[in-house]
Amino acid sequence: MKHVSLHHITISEVCYAEIVDGAHTLSFEQFVHASGQEAAWVLQLFEHDILSSDTAPQSHQFVSDELARARTAFRLQRDFDASLQAVAVMLDLLEEVQDLRKRLS
Domain ranges of the chain: 6-104
Task: Please identify, in words, the CATH class of the domain defined by 6-104.
Answer: mainly alpha
Pick from 14-23, 29-38, 42-51: least confident: 14-23
Q: What is the pLDDT of residue 24?
A: 79
Output the pLDDT for position 17.
Answer: 55
For the chain, what is the total number of helices (H) and then of strands (E)? 4, 2
pLDDT over threshold 80, residue 13: no
2 has a pLDDT exceeding 80 = no
Rounded CA separation 8/20 (Å): 10
